[in-house]
Structure 1
Amino acid sequence: MTPPRGQRTLRAKPEQEPQMARQPAPFAPFEWKIAWRYLRARRAEGGVSVMTWISLIGITLAVFALIATLAVRSGFRSDFVGTILGANAHVTVYNPGEYRENGQIDRTIPNYAEMAARVAEVAGVTRAAPLVKGQVMAAAQNRNAGVEVFGIATGDLAALPGITNSDRSYGDLSRFDQGIALGSGVARELGVTVGDRIKLISPNGARTPMGTSPRVNAYEVVYVFSAGRYDIDRTRVYMPFGEAQAYFNREGVADEIEVMVSEPERLDRVLIPILSAAGDGAQVWTWQDASGGFLRALEVEDNVMFIILSILVLIATMNIVSGLIMLVKNKGRDIGILRTIGLSEGSILRVFFICGAFTGILGTLMGVALGCLFAIYIDPIFSFVNFVMGGGVWDPAIRGIYALPAELRLGDVLKAAGLSLGLSCIVTYFPARRAARLNPVEALRYE
């Protein structure tokens, strides 16, 4: 039946389906607010704040110790390698030797100039210089010291960065042709300085019809260097190449060819070309061969120290577990109420995960800051410790270098921070998951 004009027809509207409650986004603001209130819990509420402070301090100290150790180890290796490369040959070319009529082995290089020129033309080689070497006794002012003499040309000596670029070196290297250069340890042992004269005594001196007599020559000290390594400064003396040939009876020959390369850490690329350029019978000895055992020991020690300190970080992060377990136990009633008013298991998990992870993040940041400050200001810190202990804390005669080095590397900092953050998040998940699975009925049964 059609309704009269002007009248409206009333139609029943279909029942609207109830809208599903939207789940909050992960790490919603209310989750951060609840976690922050739990982190600020007072001692009367179960001592949670005390455990939080213990966890925070433990992680801070563990990360600080890890970064400080890695920085010192990196600095020690860099300083050790730097002093080796700055004052020693990267590659040494020498002859295997030929037997003389008297049965002695002659290892000298007669065509040293041509060999050095050929080696210097190899791609990657920055310098090739002939050397004359010998061990003698130095004497001055009734003091004696055993030294190793290196006969080298003035230009080749000036090209050694560890000898010429040290702040502790002094004297006039341009006068090297008129005297000799001493290591600072030799100068201190003999009690001499620039301008003084010392005697060099060699048992293999002048040959006479009566036999070989010791050779004693006096030389003026024109330069005193400090290569940064105690064993070098304590034993090394540089002499002009021509004078060393005459002094050690090496007229017209050299003992070896000192080769410097542009990339001393990658010697494998240039060793074969150097051997080819040196000629048949030539052999090489690299700085890695001389110090390889020590460098490998440093590498093993680095790995072991990192593992040990990683365990220390793990122990520190386990305090987070203790604190969270106490927090979950004390907040069981709160968890039941939150679940009853609609919070999901995921929200409860994230609340307690924030509590633990925040402690780990803050402790990691504080540890990174302290570790970086320690590496940057290690010199004044070490000076203060040396002053408090009355001096003599660092003996260069034992450790080979004059100070405790530290080199802050981004990779070491990221490694320590990543380890701490990763462990903090991993150990936090399990007590947070336990809180999320807590049955609200059981939590509120006796309330």
Structure 2
Amino acid sequence: MANRTRPFAAFEWMIAWRYLRARRAEGGVSVMTWISLIGITLAVFALVATLAVRSGYRAQFVDTILGANAHVAVFPVVHEGPEGRLVREITDYEAMARRIAKVPGVTSTSPLIYGQVMAAANGRNTGVQVYGIHFDDLKKIPLIDHPQKHMGDLANFPKGIAIGSGIAQDLGLVPGDTVKLISPEGAKTPFGVTPRVNAYKVEYIFTAGRYDIDQTRIYMPFKMAQDFFNRDGVADQIEVMVKHPEQVAQMEPAIRKAAVEPVQLWTWKDSSGAFLKALTVEDNVMFVILSILVLIASMNIVSGLIMLVKNKGRDIGILRTMGLTEGSVLRVFFICGASTGIAGTALGVILGCLFAIYINPIFSLVNYVAGGGVWNPEIYGLYQLPAKLEWPDVVKAASLSLSLSFIITIFPARRAARMNPVEALRYE
């Protein structure tokens, strides 16, 4: 009759539950079991939180790249100019932009003037990157048209310039102020090259969310940039936005063909691919390390179960003499150990999810307690620690913890099942 007992019958759960809630004086759950529960909870919490921060950082980093930079930059190859000197400029940029815009998957194209200059105001100066762009094209840049924060009105851009909030803070600027831009490539005179200095009105201040963008970038109307950089009738490059940035490599041949002229392409993956690959390697290493932490926490279940089996040796002998099979005994103690793993995993997942959801107030508290400076945007590129819950990551963390807990539990449970009832009751 006992052989026909279905696995995990009600009486097996009842016995396991009695053992789990018994006081230690009665040979119940040991301190090691509580330690293993807390250990698994913290390990799973750390794993879920780390995976959420990893996903959030990667997602926000990529979003800021794609939201404020070209997916593909089209550069002309170096060629001989009208005066016999080597130049790198696009003369028929409007026609080239129209041809590239017709490539399937391309959403927009923007002729661009680019230069590095010095910005000065209020007795301070800083190096900046100037992007000359048409107003209609500027409005197509998501993190400029809809930034995290802004001052002024983007509609006034044709009358002046738009600058990053970092530049505005360094130079003490607000909308309506004037900033001087100094270019070392000025007019040629008998005494050498004279730097070009022009003053421009700040019409718009944006916070794109990337430190390096907000700290260095200035947008200037296209014609105004042509005049300032001596690029009359030419453009330095064409910025291309595509519908599916992840598939930009497959679009390169079509873009080259549409350009007609010999060009060089520089995609967003070329500029940030190495960093993203480094993030992937770091992610994998962190997952392995935290998985080992979960394994160590799960190993504590073994200690707790071994102590429980030792304390319950007499009970095991009595149950076996009453007809309980080895399989039933194994399942009783498996339920005891697995319950610890399930409870610890559930608590860890809940804490990890709460951490990811409320990361901003938690981070603010940590930053306040530490006196500030916990997160350096100059190093990480972002202003705050992001987190993004990806359910596949949560499932992966929970599955790993449960799998390890179940596997680890089998060994002491088998020891209990194979205990000889005669030996267990010999000295009783």
Please confirm whether the aligned pair reaches a TM-score higher than 0.5, indicating the same fold. yes
1:425 to 402, 406, 412: 406
Partner of 2:352: 371
State the 1:48 CA deviation.
Answer: 2.8
Partner of 2:49: 68
The 3-state SS of whatever aligns with 1:411 is helix
CA distance in 2, matches of 1:339, 1:154: 84
Partner of 1:409: 390
Which range moves more in the overlay, 45-54 or 33-42? 45-54
State the 1:411 CA deviation.
Answer: 0.7
The 3-state SS of whatever aligns with 2:213 is helix
Q: Give the alignment's Cα RMSD to 1 decimal.
A: 1.5
Of all paired residues, the percent bearing the same amino acid is 68
State the 1:21 CA deviation.
Answer: 5.7
2:204 to 207, 215, 223: 223
State the 1:361 CA deviation.
Answer: 0.4
The 3-state SS of whatever aligns with 1:267 is helix
Which range moves more in the overlay, 190-199 or 162-171? 162-171
Partner of 2:35: 54
Partner of 1:384: 365
CA distance in 1, matches of 2:266, 2:273: 12
Partner of 1:328: 309
CA distance in 1, matches of 2:165, 2:321: 79
Partner of 1:89: 70
CA distance in 2, matches of 1:339, 1:397: 67
CA distance in 1, matches of 2:2, 2:92: 92
2:266 aligned with 1:285, yes or no? yes
CA distance in 1, matches of 2:204, 2:160: 8
Whether the 8 Å contact between 2:166 and 2:211 is mirrored in structure 1 is yes
The 3-state SS of whatever aligns with 2:247 is coil
The 3-state SS of whatever aligns with 2:162 is strand
CA distance in 1, matches of 2:278, 2:28: 46
CA distance in 2, matches of 1:229, 1:21: 68
Whether the 8 Å contact between 1:41 and 1:49 is mirrored in structure 2 is no
Whether the 8 Å contact between 2:21 and 2:28 is mirrored in structure 1 is no
Partner of 1:194: 175
1:444 to 413, 421, 425: 425
**Which amino acid in structure 2 is aligned with residue 132 of structure 1?**
I
Partner of 1:80: 61
Within 5 Å, give how 1:132-281 maps onto structure 2: 132-208=113-189, 211-281=192-262
2:127 aligned with 1:127, yes or no? no
The 3-state SS of whatever aligns with 2:262 is coil
Whether the 8 Å contact between 1:39 and 1:52 is mirrored in structure 2 is no
**Which amino acid in structure 1 is aligned with residue 7 of structure 2?**
P
State the 1:252 CA deviation.
Answer: 0.6
Gaps of 5+ in 2: none
TM-score under structure 1 length normalisation? 0.93
Whether the 8 Å contact between 1:336 and 1:443 is mirrored in structure 2 is yes
Partner of 1:294: 275
Gaps of 5+ in 1: 1-19
CA distance in 2, matches of 1:21, 1:193: 84
State the 1:392 CA deviation.
Answer: 2.1
User: Could you report, residue by residue, the CA deviation over 1:285-342 in whole angstroms, capped at 9, with x for unpaired residues?
Assistant: 1010001110000000000000000000000000101101111111111111101001
User: Could you report, residue by residue, the CA deviation over 1:255-303 in whole angstroms, capped at 9, with x for unpaired residues?
Assistant: 0000001111111231111111111411211010001110000000000
CA distance in 2, matches of 1:351, 1:223: 69
CA distance in 2, matches of 1:103, 1:188: 44
CA distance in 1, matches of 2:208, 2:378: 14
